[in-house]
A and B are shown apart, each in its own frame.
Chain A
Amino acid sequence: MLVFLIRRLGGLVATLLVATVVVFAVLEILPGDPASLMLGVNAQPDTIAALRTELGLDRPALARYLGWIGGMLVGDFGISYTYRVPVAGLIADRALVSLPLALMALLLSTAIAIPLGTLAATAHNRWPDATVMGFAQVGVAVPNFWFGILLVYLFAVTLRWVPAGGFAGWDAGPAAALASLILPAIALALPQAAILARVMRSALLDVLHEDYIRTARAKGLPFLATVWRHAVRNALIPVLTILGLQFAFLIAGTIIIENVFYLPGLGRLIFQAVAQRDLIVVQSLTVLLVATVVIVNFLVDLAYAAVDPRLRDTGR
């Protein structure tokens, strides 16, 4: 188990290092100079040169790369070119919106998908199955931003229960903050729930055909107890895999959803930073997102071990 952990951790660090090189190189090649973008079309060349010096953009690429990596190791992510404030603080503020949003969406999709997937599998080929799978089909097909706009028209424009977008801020109280996150969370969760419900259903169907299920039934265990005690737990492994993969999609999804709901989250930050060539923010944030995804996958591996004792014992 320990060796397994160390190997996985080593892979994690290597992945991150490669990511920093790739991200830095790509942004280096990308046309567009932050200083000229900030000063606009009327600026004089000497003004642009002065700003480039102020931002440290006149240093050679290697020096900037090493400075960036060295700073990140001690928690200093640099100063945003456009906002002129420390990147770390900028990211921390935005994470207070995006992480709760992603978490809400994840919980919501799981809470919807597991029971519905179980229902569909246990009622295989009967009307509940058809209904759930019908909705799942729609859920997979509907783009989340469009679903988000529909939610806004119903709950914000017509019913006026929640604001159409924006974020009240946590200091306005958890109720107001949650009210501004609930619609985006639903919009993000729906397509994920649809995928997850389908995976849950097919995983459970596979398990239900196993010999040990027949044995459990034969020894007189009621059907629902069999499903709950023997089938669902075994079906969770593929579901966990998908859940881990989905986390990456959730993060990608927040970029679109945060723009639809104009939420000040990480997704909108990276979107704006790319357009404004706030390279230092893009670099740091991308690496941070890569780190999050890699770590989540690592945790999913650990979770396999938790649900499946066989992986725990034989892990070399």
Chain B
Amino acid sequence: MRRTVHALAAGLVLAAGLTAPAFAQKTTATIGMRLEPPHLDPTAGAAAAIDEVVYQNVFEGLTRIDADGSVKPGLAESWSISDDGLTYTFQLRDGVTFHDGTGFDAEDVKFSFDRARADESTNAQKRIFEPIEAVTVVDPETVEITLSRPAGSFLFDLGWGDAVIVAAESADTNTTAPVGTGPFKFSRWVKGDSVLLERNEAYWGEPAALTGATFKFVGDPAASLAAMLAGDLDAYPNFPATENLPQFEADPRFAVVVGTSEGETILALNNREKPFADLKVRQAISHAIDRQAIIDGAMFGYGTPIGSHFAPHHPAYEDLTGTYPYALEKARTLLAEAGYPDGFEATMKLPPTTYARRSGEIIASELSKIGITVEIIPVEWAQWLEQVFKGHDFDMTIVSHTEPLDVDIYARDDYYFGYDNPEFDAIIDTLQSEADPKARNALFRQAQDMIAADAVNGFLFQLPKAGVWNAKLKGLWSDAPIQANDLTDVHWAP
């Protein structure tokens, strides 16, 4: 009977949202994610979920990207760059060991980079390693990397999950049992349910505050809401049900943090096909898009309008949303001038994400006001990649480009939206060999201006990173400058 009373009392305390002082301080955290990683090797796959579990927790690179997007020393303590920008000399930290006990030295760096740029490499960002001509071990703590051409973003790129350092002994088994140098080691993977990490007691740096962490995969938005409310999850850094955020905001048990991500959400237009090959048509479409209506309707008000393909939190960002403001009359005139006074019919292939499907419906209705009849075709990701991205078989599509600093995709040959402008290609060429931050930012601005003026795509909004977590859990990133859930500084407030 007494036990029942206690249980009841504890239940009441919980129900009231209070923490009984008798409960021991929590030292682990359970973190919700929408998608399960296919495997856990960040050097062999593009899935964001891989990095969201292991980046900076299990694996580390020579450099690391910090919460504000800046490049910080990682496994390399310091570095120097030759005047011609072709030789990078990295001074490595000593006393670093992999989780299996093997030591970390310059040979591991050479092995990791040579593996990533090999012919049979399955690295999803192989282009990071493309400029590398040779990786030379100077001594166990010094590595020299020579490039065939200057690469302005090389240090930033080395901070990507795809460029982490792996050991030759464990590289082949990292997919299922990752072995890195980070503050957490891999413990267990309950397939379909969760990945468990535990603190690396032998970590070279400041040990993590958490003794362990569980990444739990809850895909369904309604289930995510219930799991957070029931306390099964302590945090959901990328909460999938934006419509439920106000509910959490009103609840003192939770903190809602809406930050920015690297995701430029665009209405991509097939520039190589009629009628979108015509600048006037693209301008008309830009004029017909009411960004705020899309953000309010599709994203429940969360998201920053963008006027070009660039993240608003970057120092080189320019607000170009005024280039082609919402103006239906102007849009109709431009369409008529282009030879489509009565509009035309077009298809819009929408991938399965909520932001794409919801924005698509709103844009279809907005475009109908200037006479463009849109047929919406929902597709899966696999179909999208095959038909839109690879096959270029589409008129319009909506997608968020989540790679950091990816404005260079507009210079790629035969990229899916088919923008071809030699002047723009020249800007990106200069950018790639420019290392001076000031000069780089000036070039980034030129690039933004040019694609905005050319109305290459309909630039919609920067995808928000809406995180919900227990109000007592501190240290999670609010922004997402790179795909990661860095747990290094995460701790429970007393």
Contact = CB atoms under 8 A, between A and B. Distances in A.
B385 interface: yes
A169 interface: yes
A165 B39 contact: no
Interface string B107-126: 00000000000011111111
A275 B232 contact: no
B284 to A, nearest CB: 28
Interface stretch (B21-29, B213-221, B421-429): B213-221
B46 A160 contact: no
Contact of B220 (A32, A43, A84, A259): A259
A37 B223 CA distance: 26
A84 B39 contact: yes
B146 to A, nearest CB: 21
A142 to B, nearest CB: 15
Interface in A261-314: 261-265, 268-269, 272, 275-278
Interface in A236-277: 259-265, 268-269, 272, 275-277
A58 interface: no
A40 B230 contact: no
Contact of A47 (B121, B220, B386): B121
Nearest to A33: B386
Given A43-B126, A50-B119, A261-B223, A36 B390 contact: yes
A32 B380 contact: yes
Nearest to A277: B382
A14 to B, nearest CB: 32
A33 B387 CA distance: 11
A285 to B, nearest CB: 13
Interface stretch (A65-73, A109-117, A148-156, A215-223): A148-156
Nearest to B118: A50
A84 B193 contact: no
A11 B389 CA distance: 44
A20 to B, nearest CB: 22
A42 interface: yes
A273 B88 CA distance: 42
Nearest to A38: B45
A165 B126 CA distance: 39
Contacts of A207: none
Residue of A152, A262, A264 with highest tally of chain B CB at under 10 A:
A262
Contacts of B192: 93-94, 263-265, 268-269, 272
A264 B191 contact: yes
Contacts of A40: 45-47, 124
B220 A260 contact: yes
Given A38-B45, A160-B11, A262-B193, A33 B382 contact: yes
B96 interface: no
B453 interface: no
Given A50-B119, A82-B38, A83-B39, A32 B383 contact: yes
| 4 residue pairs, one from A and one from B, having the closest CB atoms | A40-B46, A32-B382, A264-B192, A82-B38
Interface of A: 30-34, 36-44, 46-47, 50-51, 53-54, 82-85, 90, 93-94, 149, 152-153, 156-157, 160, 163-167, 169, 259-265, 268-269, 272, 275-278
6 contacts: A41-B389, A47-B124, A152-B223, A160-B15, A166-B218, A260-B220
